[in-house]
Amino acid sequence: MPGQLVAETGRLRLLAMSDACDEDAEMMLRLLNDPAFIRNIADRGVRTLEEARDYLRNGALRSYAEHGFAMYAVQLKATGERIGNCGLVRREGLEGPDLGYALLPGFCGHGYAKEAAQAVLADARDRLGLDQMLAIVNPDNAPSIGLLQKLGFAFERMIALPHVDRAVKLFRYPALSVEAQP
């Protein structure tokens, strides 16, 4: 699966990442050390290219093998540049996969995260047969909360997860109407 095209949009390609791909490892190293990533997601302690390759091996590559999904590299079709990642994560403490996304500085605010997330949701429905997904977000991350709402996610509750140092907002897709909630 590494290197495989997972989805394509008007401006983007979503590619399965590989520890053998220099572009993937370099992008992950930059992304994991971006102050916004550290503030809104976590400091993963990845500081070298080899640690980024290990991070891919222990994260995305393992998840591809175990679940058939993971985070994917987001690539601009026009230039081939990798600008971040987007995909599904199977996280301890959640009943199902959750949508994740992060873009490198300079690529936020252009609609790329929404475009990539819509492609991931379509792939999850069409290829994986998933009809529901979750998302977690730092309660202070207003842009990410706004994006989840635009995608059709609805806030469900605050939740504490193992290995996450603060309570996060849990969102569910598709948003359930008030009448449909138990």
As a whole number of angstroms, the distance between CA 75 and CA 156 comes to 31
Q: Are 95 and 132 in contact (CB under 8 A)?
A: no
Is 47 buried (19+), middle (13-18) or exposed (0-12) by CB count in 10 A?
exposed
**What string of pLDDT tens digits covers the 182 residues of the chain?**
567 999 999 999 999 999 999 999 999 999 999 999 999 999 999 999 999 999 999 999 999 999 999 999 999 999 999 999 999 999 999 999 999 999 999 999 999 999 999 999 999 999 999 989 999 999 999 999 999 999 999 999 999 998 888 899 999 998 754 444 44
Dump pLDDT digits (tens) for 144-181.
Answer: 999 999 999 999 999 999 888 889 999 999 875 444 44
**What's the CA dihedral at 153, 158, 162, 166 to 10 degrees?**
110
